[in-house]
Chain A
């Protein structure tokens, strides 16, 4: 189940009980933005979401994988806790242990948005961020659904 997302790609990998996602990106910025996109693409039909307002995120992690998981945990809470749906994501600044991102999107509106799936959490299980031999990046993360 592969699909292209801008200039990075995401695909679902099989996990018996949960949902694994593998994302690739030419740069770390594209990788993290692609992961955010993959999360919201699983949650809803992104074509129905408008880029109405911006939200900023400043996230820390011990290493790139921990940073990715913490970033996804934060933006998942923006949905689960605050009803914010993302349309697109810009990574403003990134180091192996910190990122600043801007998400554009809008509040959930049951009349216009359909939620495809409940994602309970971003797990630490088999979470990874690795450089590929070609000089790009690949990340794996498992969502509890």
Chain B
């Protein structure tokens, strides 16, 4: 898309005015720096494509980490009217409820500095990762059904964590409306042995240290202190979620003509929210979301046990507490303000995170004064940010903000640029211990393949879509 199509609104906002079949404008949250070269990327064209969909409200939004996806851009947010609008599996993505969870500990950097290699090695052994890895359980059909209905609570009931973990999980770790009857046999087959596995690609588990606090009050509410050791997990719904997306996309592509619009990209295939096909997808998607929450819950409990064993500590001494768990690939029915009125909408966040403001009833009581915790993972080995949700996001971006650094380099480009380099050694020189099971993963995930996380977070902070609370630096990382 030509850059002449963009109209600058202010320092952090650019508009793509509607042309052709666009029903609403595109709105990009970005900066001059991140805009450079954006025209050459397919991302803005995808923002414009999403604006064609029926029932879209206000605008097709893109967060500063936006990049070329398929159908919807990654970093895209779009909300739809429940009567006129649609739900699109491509607007959620294949990895339904891919997300992050951050745990704090009582440990401080000097306590574990020398033990990081041992911890990374033990985590790599205990947490199944990589393509085709199997989890610790083989679910019976009945058990799998319960996982899909109960989400993280199922895992807690089986001894994987505590009730307190559920209170610190978006939606309490279970989305309502999940109906396993809407999930295909293929998806169920893929799900039965993968619960409790990290996955591959950009999924990871990192040991991090709190390096900088930007907001004392919010950091205190979140239980974050400088020098504190934390663990960040990034994973999703594994093969079950991919299959749910694939099944419903195929169904919706076949019937795309029925909703009476010419899709600019078949990957945008969708169904009316008030149709049986649309409702069935949401019921199956909720199952996959719940599977992902059970998955991250189990990954966290494995991490707790590994830390206790390696460090020879009891649960109290270690104090590994779930700060929060957010999803960043999801469609949700939420009540949000539009032009001063409260409206029920279906919000798609594809590579975008919910960022509810202080006082919102869906924010856990302990955090309600400061806003919902938002977890923003960075590229491999650089660390992450903790942000807090704001009123700005609630009124302007359907309660949404960015989700990560965002790729700028394709995987083949990244691999090419790694010729003759040892990525583990480079990471070690930066003070990060990395272990990966996939041969090419480390090369594909090199830091320069991503946008600068500081630049991305600066935009959402300055635009008022969330507030910087703390920055964490990576000490050790396992990847699939």
Contact status B267-A118, CB under 8 Å? no
From known contacts A81-B189, A118-B131, infer whether A17 and B74 are also in contact, taking CB-CB under 8 Å.
yes
Spot the interface stretch: A32-40, A109-117, A132-140.
Answer: A109-117
A81 neighbours in B (Cβ, 8 Å): 186, 189-190, 239, 243
Which of A15, A17, A121, A125 contacts B265 (CB under 8 A)? A125
- Which residues of A49-69 have CB atoms within 8 Å of chain B's CB atoms? 62, 66
Main secondary structure of the interface of A (DSSP, over half): loop
Which of A114, A121, A124, A142 contacts B242 (CB under 8 A)? A121
Contact status B68-A15, CB under 8 Å? yes
Which of B94, B131, B409 contacts A121 (CB under 8 A)? B94
Chain B, interface size category, equals 35 or more
CA distance A3 to B146 in the complex (A): 47
Interface string of B69-80 (1 = CB under 8 A from A): 111001000000
B433 within 8 A of A: no
B41 within 8 A of A: yes
A105 within 8 A of B: no
A73 within 8 A of B: yes
Contact status A117-B265, CB under 8 Å? no
Counting residue pairs across A and B whose Cβ atoms lie within 8 Å, the total is: 99
Contact status B189-A120, CB under 8 Å? no
CA distance A12 to B267 in the complex (A): 20
CA distance A60 to B269 in the complex (A): 18
Contact status B71-A125, CB under 8 Å? yes
Contact status B440-A116, CB under 8 Å? yes
Contact status B190-A80, CB under 8 Å? yes
Contact status B70-A16, CB under 8 Å? no
- Which residues of B245-291 have CB atoms within 8 Å of chain A's CB atoms? 245-246, 249-250, 253-254, 265-267, 269
From known contacts A77-B186, A118-B200, infer whether A12 and B412 are also in contact, taking CB-CB under 8 Å.
yes
A121 neighbours in B (Cβ, 8 Å): 94, 242, 245-246
B67 within 8 A of A: yes
A108 within 8 A of B: yes
Which of A18, A115, A124 contacts B253 (CB under 8 A)? A124
A70 neighbours in B (Cβ, 8 Å): 250
B52 within 8 A of A: no
CB distance from A17 to the nearest CB of B (A): 5
CA distance A127 to B409 in the complex (A): 21
B246 neighbours in A (Cβ, 8 Å): 73, 121-122
A1 neighbours in B (Cβ, 8 Å): 412
B439 within 8 A of A: yes
Contact status A144-B412, CB under 8 Å? no
CB distance from A43 to the nearest CB of B (A): 8
A19 within 8 A of B: yes
B469 within 8 A of A: no
B132 within 8 A of A: yes
Contact status A80-B253, CB under 8 Å? no
B residues contacting A by CB (< 8 A) are 41-43, 67-71, 74, 90, 94-95, 130-132, 186, 189-190, 199-201, 239, 242-243, 245-246, 249-250, 253-254, 265-267, 269, 407-413, 438-440, 480
- A sample of 22 inter-chain contacts (CB < 8 A) reads A14-B410, A16-B41, A16-B407, A17-B67, A17-B74, A19-B411, A66-B253, A80-B239, A110-B132, A115-B132, A117-B440, A122-B246, A123-B70, A124-B265, A124-B266, A125-B265, A125-B266, A125-B267, A126-B70, A144-B70, A144-B94, A145-B201
